[in-house]
Amino acid sequence: MGQQTVGEIYHIYNRGVEKRNIFMRDSDRIRFLYSLLVFNNMEGADSERHSFEPKMSKLSEVELRSETPLVKILAFVLMPNHYHLMIERVEENGITEFMRKVGTGYTNYFNKKYDRVGPLFQGKFKSVIVKEQQHFIYLPYYIHLNPLSLIEPEWKNSKILKNKETLSFLENYPWSSHMDYSGRANIPNLLDMNFLNEVFGSHEQYQSGIVEWLEESSDKEIKDLILEN
């Protein structure tokens, strides 16, 4: 992905090889979030962590192991066969090193748990730098709206009217940072929320903005940042 500059923000994406599910159970999702926490440093990955399955309630107790993390995680979502991250680079080549550790560590955990061998992810993660002002606003919305694919597969291709079911599903989906930006602490120690909180202003402004974007389904504002294809 070329030379990375401190302070640059990236949209990161990867999915399972042959589009297979990379999260089979909630315990796998928790383990991936745990990986995002403990591998965010310059130290090597401890082999004993490959089979460790933390409890969701314990994630808030996990502290970063370094005062200088490799990256800042601004937003995330976990889907059955892929994930999205919005990340700010802190250390030189920090994103590459961080994603290498997370990918290797989680693959080792998954393969051991499900008695399989070989790659889990579809090659190296994809990334694109976030530059335009509108991207800082709309990319988190896009990331947080991804779970709608689980109840409305064509939501990205057509307008979806705001309704109770749609909003309730988003508000209660625990595998993204949407709750945290809406004012409900979910996994706040995983996130650096300072930058996006300045962009959005308040929890209420964030919520009204994502509802407005949901009603328009306006992928066009960030089409150059969408990496699924």
Q: Residue 30 belongs to a domain with what CATH number?
A: 3.30.70.1290
Per-residue confidence band for 135, with pLDDT thresholds at 50, 70 and 90: confident
138 and 124 co-located in one domain: no
Is the pTM higher than 0.85?
yes
Residue recorded with tokens 């903005």: 209
**Number of domains into which the chain is organized:** 2
- Please say which residue of 82, 107, 128 terminates a domain: 128
Same domain, 46 and 62: yes
- Pair 18, 117 in one domain: yes
Provide the domain limits for residue 42: 9-128
- 33 and 81 belong to one structural domain: yes
- Whether 1 maps to a domain, the answer reads no
Classify strands 9-15 and 82-89 as parallel, antiparallel or unpaired: antiparallel
Do 58 and 92 lie in a common domain? yes
4 belongs to a structural domain: no
Instruction: Say yes or no: 109 and 138 in one domain.
Output: no
CB-based contact 30:54 (threshold 8 Å): yes
End residue of a domain, out of 128, 144, 161: 128
Top-confidence residue, 224 or 14: 14
Asked if 104 and 145 sit in the same domain, the reply is: no
2 found inside a domain: no
- CA dist., res. 22 & res. 101, Å (int): 16
Q: What percent of the chain has pLDDT over 90?
A: 52
Residue 48: the pLDDT is 45
Do residues 98 and 157 both lie within one domain? no
102 and 166 in a single domain? The answer is: no
Residue type, 164: K
Q: What percent of the chain has pLDDT over 70?
A: 79
Query: How many whole angstroms from its chain centre is CA 55?
Result: 19
Are residue 96 and residue 38 in the same domain, yes or no? yes
193 located within any domain: yes
Please indicate, yes or no, if residue 63 is contained in any of the structural domains: yes
User: How does pLDDT run across 40-75, given as a tens digit for each residue?
Assistant: 987 766 644 556 777 776 676 666 555 678 999 999
Task: Judge if 117 and 213 occupy the same domain.
Answer: no
Q: Is residue 183 one of the residues assigned to a domain?
A: yes
Residue 2's pLDDT band, with cuts at 50, 70 and 90, is very low
Q: Are 162 and 215 in contact, with CB atoms under 8 Å apart?
A: yes
> Among 128, 147, 173, which residue terminates a domain?
128
Question: Is-contact 47 105, C-beta < 8 A?
Answer: no
Q: What is the pLDDT of residues 69-123, one digit of tens each?
A: 899 999 999 999 999 999 999 988 899 999 999 999 999 999 999 999 999 999 8
What are the tens digits of pLDDT across the range 174-212?
999 999 999 998 888 899 999 999 999 899 999 998 888
More confident residue, 120 or 160: 120
